[in-house]
Chains A and B, each alone.
Chain A
Amino acid sequence: MAYAKLFDSSKCIACRGCQKACKNWNQDPAEKTTNRGTHQNPPDLSHQTRTVVRFKEQEGGDLGIIWTFFKDSCRHCIEPACKMIADGTDEQAVVITDTGAVIYNERTAKVEGMNCGYNIPKQEKDGAPYVKCTLCFDRITNGLQPACVTTCPTGALEFGKREDIVKLALQRVEEAKKRYPDAHISSDYKEVNYIQVFHYKEDMFEMYADREKQQKIKMASRRDLLNPKKAAGMISKLLG
């Protein structure tokens, strides 16, 4: 069964319960952080932080200020670029499951030229395994929801069958439009299992994802499937 997860920015209050629920379930340690003049912490995803709520504030909009929150984590692509790259080294390093979850394991440590248009996979240091969200594969295959979804108080995060989540997302867009005329679904929603609804024109997704880069990685990977070194070289060339 293919599942999907939805993030609806119109309902997110940035309580960051999802961030902590994720660390709690995955037993990921806390990072040492400082306040850098923003409420966002840790500053980015890391091998210890599989999801982070990003804060962005801009002037404008009906209220004078647009303050948006975006829960960034693996999109669980239906055709993941990382999988294409990894297959060049080891077809078992990145696994697509029938739940829709894209799963990494220890073998990603050896993958050459790992890349992602969303900048998701992180490693502790060169040669260490890559770490990212598992879509709580171990929970969802045991009848539970992902930890982040369970903890969300407002319904900003939802989880379910992919077709239901797509339907819900489109319905959420229509609901959000009553309040926010620019509400829209993330432009990649047909390609991923982590779908977003954004309530402002400024697309948070666009800020943290480079779809063009993602396509280039995929193209390069396809062309040089059997030669990972060449593929990696091609990718860096393509990306300049």
Chain B
Amino acid sequence: MTNHWIDFANSDVVLVMGSNAAENHPISFKWVTKAMEKGGKLISVDPRFTKTSAKADIYARLRSGTDIPFLGGMIKYILDNDLIDKFYVQNYTNASFLINKDFKFEDGLFSGYNEEKRSYDKATWAYQKDANGVIMKDPSMQDPNCVYQLLKKHYSRYDIDKVVEVTGTTKDELLKVYKTYTSTSGPAKSGTILYAMGWTQHTVGTQNIRTMSMIQTLLGNMGVAGGGVNALRGESNVQGSTDYGLLFHILPGYLKFPLGSQATLADFLKATTPTTAEPQSLNWWSNTPKYMVSLLKAFYGEAATKENDFGYGWLPKGDVGANYSWLNLFDQMSKGKFTGFFAWGMNPACSSANAGKVRKALGELDWLVNVNLFPNETGQFWKGPGMDPSKIKTAVFMLPCAASVEKEGSVSNSGRWAQWRYKAANPPGEAMPDAEIIEGLVHRVKELYKKEGGAFPAPILSLAWDYEENGHLSVRKIAREINGYYTQDVPGADGAVFKKGSQLANFVGLKDDGTTACGNWLYSGSYPEAGNMMMRRDNNDASGIGLYSNWSWCWPLNRRIIYNRASVDLDGNPRRPELPVIKWDGAKWVGDIADNAAPPMSDKEKGKLPFIMTSEGVAKLFGPGLAEGPFPEHYEPLECPVENNAFSSQRINPTVKLFNEKGEGEGKDVYLTCDPRYPFVCSTYRVVEHWQTGLMTRWNKQLVELAPQNFVEMSKELAALKGIKNGEMVTIKSPRGQIDAVAMVTSRFKPFTVKGQTVHQVGTTWHFGWCAPVNGGDTANLLTPTVGDANTMIPESKAFMVNIERKG
């Protein structure tokens, strides 16, 4: 989130789209309810009428997978009716920037497409620059090659009739949403977007979010109280896991993962440190060398020296162009490319798209270590449905681990707050905290390398691993390393000395010369000399806008609303004085921690642009970073009920990776679109009573009492068509698998009219699995396809095709 949970209460319009917040994030509604008590409006956009819709002022339905037309239509509405926040767009976005004259968009494709590689050469997706490398601009925004004009041209195609035809929304509903949401344009009002997996789990997931980010930028809603783009995270600490580089393409603090082509630290830093010639751009990522070297110092300690590139050569490197995401890993596993696998706090046999493929792939392993609270479908895959244990070679080890309340540590919530939690009880039996399991492994692996050598022992043997305190692994010691410390005495201002081993105040002190070590620059400041800021529990709010700055700690630098310099005018005065986030008092910023201490923009010499994380210093309406193109464009889901994309002849996202197999059947990578055998759109989702694959909830009788069995929601019209009665057992089939579920016939689903055709949509949950409870049903991921977003590889679990029949 750019903002935080409590900040929803500051919104004038809350749009919940791609999320069912009332169901899956009930606490969010504490704050949404407060916004509504103050007269704020709630809009719910969802294929199904949900608990969120039940509380909404406006509800609009759309066919799953058509968010870009829905939002693209809103961009057109904003531009046609001149509803942009002019000051904001002119000063804080790249709307006036000129784009390369060779940049083109024709029939669904941007310039530079390579059909064979299913990817783009992005050379033309670039700015025009002058001899000094400064981007050329047209402040009047009239130049046909300026971003504003290109944007206008691109979205001129998203006219309301076409949008309605594709999304299945009624024109009346659509206009109500557009009118209400765009009422937040300008400084007087703010609108917020709450989204979740309903946006990410599509082949165009990242572009769904980008489209909304553009709307927020056009309306001046970024950086302000009650605004922003807010991802409601599906797990209590998933924000923390990405912050710490748990994903394949990043290191801690969103530093880039090194590639094989970057042989030396200098190569890596050259490739990953952006530069800028823009006079007022801070270009925060220019600090990359400091963060990277300090990270290497944290990894390798004294073994990391300037002479050996601080151990950069010991880091694993990715192959250029390779993608190590989940879907690819399991694809490789299914082809026998792995010998062993740690399933750590995961249940891929239920959570993975096309789970049938994963269940088979696990049988290709020599060994599998399952680290979890309970035995699950992954650890027991060999005795699951359709498996013959006598034919499976995989040796499975179960390592029981401690639950979150049985250990100490920090949890980072969606609003970027790192909150310290204390141990409430000892783990049962032999269960251990994950960190202690990892520590045991590290020591044993190091021991083996010491004894036996091996192909490349240096990365393991050089690893600094000193987290013991009083004979036990100490997560507080790890937290101190994450904050960062001085590796030697360093002179400070006015003759003061930062002593070797003392904590850094925050990342501003980080150096690229090896004198500082820092496990994650983003969290630097969370544990300074003064102590563990994440333990703070002061619930006084001096800000008056719900920042609660002394409750826990939030990255970066305890800044509660990021890009907050966009909330002020050029002189640093809040554009909305009654909800001030920051204010320049003539010498310094007051309020929230400002996005950098530099003076406001009107100081031509020292003033800085608000969007410090982009090299341009401004928000990018034209964003060349993503795989599909600089402007979001509609492509149909891989499996969909329409033969043609109404917007171009590119039916599906031209840059997604396709896993194709011949035939049809359980766990196969097959897709069928517009196939009469699979006529209905299906989405998977969650309910409040269960969590993810249900491992922590399916064993809990109290929760199973509330939600005992998987179900499939469908319209009354579809039920009548298929002769299905409410409450009876039905079978849902996709080209990849089938599950049984209880039919829930409801008016909350309605058939869509798409291009004059009736399209039915159904929905089911992925919480259940064959282990427990009895008669609960199995996971809906046996149905979902192996296909991911072109940028993130998040699977398309929100839109695929199924059939549904009474269980015979």
Whether a CB of chain A sits under 8 angstroms from the CB of B709 is: yes
Q: Is the pair A63, B708 in contact by a Cβ cutoff of 8 Å?
A: no
Count of chain A residues with a beta carbon within 8 Å of a chain B beta carbon = 39
Interface on A for B, CB 8 Å cutoff?
A: 10-11, 13-17, 19-20, 23-24, 29-39, 41-42, 57-59, 63-65, 67-69, 153-155, 175, 178-179
CA distance A180 to B476 in the complex (A): 51
Which residues of A lie under 8 Å from residue B703 when comparing CB positions?
Answer: 20
- Whether A15 lies near B26 (C-beta < 8 A) is yes
The smallest C-beta distance from B21 to any residue of chain A, in angstroms, reads 9
Instruction: List the 8 closest pairs (A to B, CB-CB), nearest first.
Output: A37-B727, A37-B726, A30-B705, A30-B701, A13-B22, A35-B709, A35-B742, A15-B26
User: In the complex, what's the smallest C-beta–C-beta distance from B709 to chain A, in angstroms?
Assistant: 4
Return chain A residues, CB-CB under 8 Å to B51: 13-14, 67
List B residues 18-59 near A (Cβ within 8 Å): 22-23, 26-27, 29-30, 33, 36-37, 39, 49, 51-59
How far, in angstroms, from A7 to B114 measured CA to CA in the complex?
60
User: Is there an interface contact between A37 and B775, defined as CB atoms closer than 8 Å?
Assistant: no
B346 sits at the interface (CB 8 A): no
A179-B743 Cα distance, complex, nearest whole Å: 33
| Inter-chain contact A179/B37, CB cutoff 8 Å | no
Asked whether A30 and B742 contact (CB < 8 A) given A57-B748, A67-B748, the answer is: no
CA A58 to CA B747, docked complex, whole Å: 8
Q: Are B726 and A34 in contact (CB under 8 A)?
A: no
CB nearest neighbor in B for A156:
B33
Residues of B within 8 A of A38 (CB): 726-727, 744
Task: Report chain B residues within 8 Å CB of A57.
Answer: 746-748
In angstroms, how far is the closest chain A Cβ from the Cβ of B772? 14
The closest CB in chain A to the CB of B57 belongs to A179
Give the CA-CA distance A24 to B706 in the complex, in Å: 14
Cβ–Cβ contact B706 & A20, under 8 A: yes
> Do A153 and B30 touch (CB < 8 A)?
yes
Which residues on B sit within 8 Å (CB–CB) of A68?
54
Is there contact, CB below 8 Å, between A16 and B688? yes
Give A41 to B744 CA distance when docked, in angstroms: 14
List residues of B whose CB falls within 8 A of some A CB: 22-23, 26-27, 29-30, 33, 36-37, 39, 49, 51-59, 687-689, 701-711, 726-728, 742-748, 750, 775
- Chain A residues with CB under 8 Å of B775's CB are 34
Are the C-beta atoms of A17 and B743 separated by less than 8 Å? no
Query: Does B702 contact A13, Cβ atoms closer than 8 Å?
Result: no
Distance from A10 Cβ to chain B, minimum over Cβ atoms (Å):
8
Q: Which residue of A lies closest to B50 (CB)?
A: A67
CA distance A186 to B588 in the complex (A): 55
Complex CA gap A29/B707 in Å reads 15
B442 CB → nearest A CB, Å: 40
- Whether A41 and B706, one on each chain, are in contact in the complex, defined by CB atoms closer than 8 angstroms, is yes
CB nearest neighbor in A for B37:
A175
Neighbour of B688 across the interface among A15, A69, A179, CB < 8 A: A15
Question: What residue in chain B is nearest A17 (Cβ atoms)?
Answer: B26
| Chain B residues within 8 Å of A63, by CB | 49, 53-54, 56, 58-59
A64 to B704, CA, bound (A): 31
B179 to chain A, nearest CB (A): 15
User: Which of chain B's residues have a CB closer than 8 A to the CB of A179?
Assistant: 36, 57
Q: Are A16 and B706 in contact (CB under 8 A)?
A: yes
Q: In this complex, what residue of A is CB-closest to B21? A: A13
A153–B31 Cα distance when bound, in Å, is: 9
Would you mind naming 26 contact pairs between A and B with Cβ atoms under 8 Å apart?
A: A10-B55, A13-B52, A13-B54, A14-B51, A15-B22, A15-B688, A20-B703, A30-B701, A30-B702, A31-B705, A33-B705, A37-B726, A37-B745, A39-B687, A41-B707, A42-B705, A59-B747, A63-B56, A65-B53, A65-B54, A65-B748, A67-B51, A67-B53, A69-B54, A153-B30, A154-B29
Interface residue from B27, B706, B747 paired with A65 (Cβ < 8 Å): B747
Contact A35 B711 (CB under 8 A): yes
Contact among B30, B708, B745, B747 with A34 in the assembled complex (CB-CB below 8 Å): B708
| In-complex Cβ contact of B54 among A24, A30, A67 (8 A) | A67
**Shortest Cβ distance from A66 into chain B, in angstroms?**
8
Pairwise interchain contact A13-B29, C-beta atoms closer than 8 A: yes
How many angstroms from the CA of A63 to the CA of B46 in the assembled complex?
A: 13
Interface contact B26-A13, CB-CB below 8 Å: yes
The docked-state distance in angstroms from the alpha carbon of A41 to that of B687 is 13
Q: Pick from B708, B710, B727: contact of A41, CB below 8 A.
A: B708
- Among A17, A20, A34, A153, the residue within 8 A (CB) of B709 is A34
- Given A13-B26, A35-B742, A37-B745, CB of A23 within 8 Å of CB of B702: yes
Whether A64 contacts B26 by the Cβ 8 Å rule is no
- CB contacts (< 8 Å) of B59 on chain A: these are 63-65
Given the complex of chains A and B, what is the CA–CA distance between A153 and B51 in angstroms?
14
| B contact residues around A36 at 8 Å (CB) | 727, 742
Q: Which chain A residue has the least Cβ–Cβ distance from B702? A: A30
CB distance from A148 to the nearest CB of B (A): 14
A31 — which chain B residues lie within 8 A by C-beta? 705
Residues of B within 8 A of A178 (CB): 39
Question: Across the interface, which residues of A come within 8 angstroms of B689, CB to CB?
Answer: 16
Chain A residues near B728 (CB, 8 Å)? 37
Q: How far is the CB of B301 from chain A (nearest CB, A)?
A: 45
In the complex, residue of chain A having the shortest beta-carbon distance to the beta carbon of B44: A63
In the assembled complex, how far is the CB of residue A46 from the closest CB belonging to chain B, in whole angstroms?
Answer: 11
B57 CB contacts on chain A under 8 angstroms: 179
Nearest Cβ on chain B to A110's Cβ, whole angstroms: 30
Give chain A nearest CB distance to B61 CB in angstroms.
9
A14 to B710, CA, bound (A): 18
Kindly state the separation between the CA atoms of A110 and B22 in the bound complex, as whole angstroms: 44
Q: Chain B residues near A69: list those with CB within 8 A.
A: 54
Q: Are B706 and A19 in contact (CB under 8 A)?
A: yes
| A37 / chain B contacts, CB cutoff of 8 Å | 711, 726-728, 742-745
Query: How long is the Cα–Cα vector from A69 to B27 in the complex, in angstroms?
Result: 17
CB B687 to nearest CB in A, in angstroms, measures 8
Residues of A within 8 A of B22 (CB): 13, 15
Residue of B nearest to A175 (CB): B37
Q: How far is the CA of A36 from the CA of B727 in the complex (A)?
A: 5
- What separation, in Å, do the CA atoms of A38 and B748 have in the docked complex? 12
B29 to A30, Cβ gap below 8 A? no
Please tell me if the beta carbons of A35 and B54 are within 8 angstroms of each other in the complex.
no
With A and B bound together, what is the CA distance between A37 and B748 in angstroms?
13
Contact at A11–B747, with CB atoms within 8 Å?
no
Interface centre among A19, A31, A39 (most CB of B within 10 A): A39
Determine how close the nearest CB of chain B comes to the CB of A124; give it in whole angstroms: 17
Chain B residues with CB under 8 A of A32: 705, 708
Extra pairs beyond A13-B23, A38-B727, A69-B54 (14, CB < 8 Å): A11-B33, A13-B54, A15-B23, A17-B26, A31-B705, A33-B705, A33-B708, A34-B708, A34-B709, A35-B711, A64-B49, A67-B54, A154-B29, A155-B30
**Chain B residues with CB below 8 A from A65, complex form:** 49, 53-54, 59, 747-748
Chain A, residue nearest B59 (CB)? A63
B748 cross-chain contacts in A, Cβ below 8 A: 57, 65, 67
Contact yes or no, B744 A35, CB < 8 A: yes
**Closest residue on chain A to residue B61 by CB atoms:** A64
B743: A residues at CB distance < 8 A: 37
B278 to chain A minimum Cβ distance, whole angstroms, is 45
Which chain B positions have C-beta within 8 A of A10?
Answer: 55
Smallest beta-carbon distance A114→chain B, Å:
26
Q: What residues of chain B lie closer than 8 Å to A16, measured between beta carbons? A: 688-689, 706
A133 to B705 Cα, complex, angstroms: 19
Closest B residue, CB atoms, query A16 = B706
**Contact indicator B27/A153 (Cβ below 8 Å):** yes
Contact of A155 among B33, B705, B708 (CB under 8 A): B33
Please give the distance in Å from B386's CB to the nearest CB on chain A. Answer: 24
The residue in A19, A23, A29, A179 that gathers the most chain B C-beta atoms within 10 A of its C-beta is: A179
Q: How far is the CB of A42 from chain B (nearest CB, A)?
A: 6
Q: By the criterion CB–CB under 8 Å, are B727 and A35 in contact?
A: yes
Shortest Cβ distance from residue B807 to the other chain A in the assembled complex, whole angstroms: 14
Shortest C-beta distance, A55 to chain B (Å), equals 10
In Å, the complex CA distance between A65 and B54 comes to 8
Distance (whole angstroms) from the CB of B139 to the closest CB of chain A? 43
Residues of chain A within 8 A (CB-CB) of B705 are 30-33, 41-42
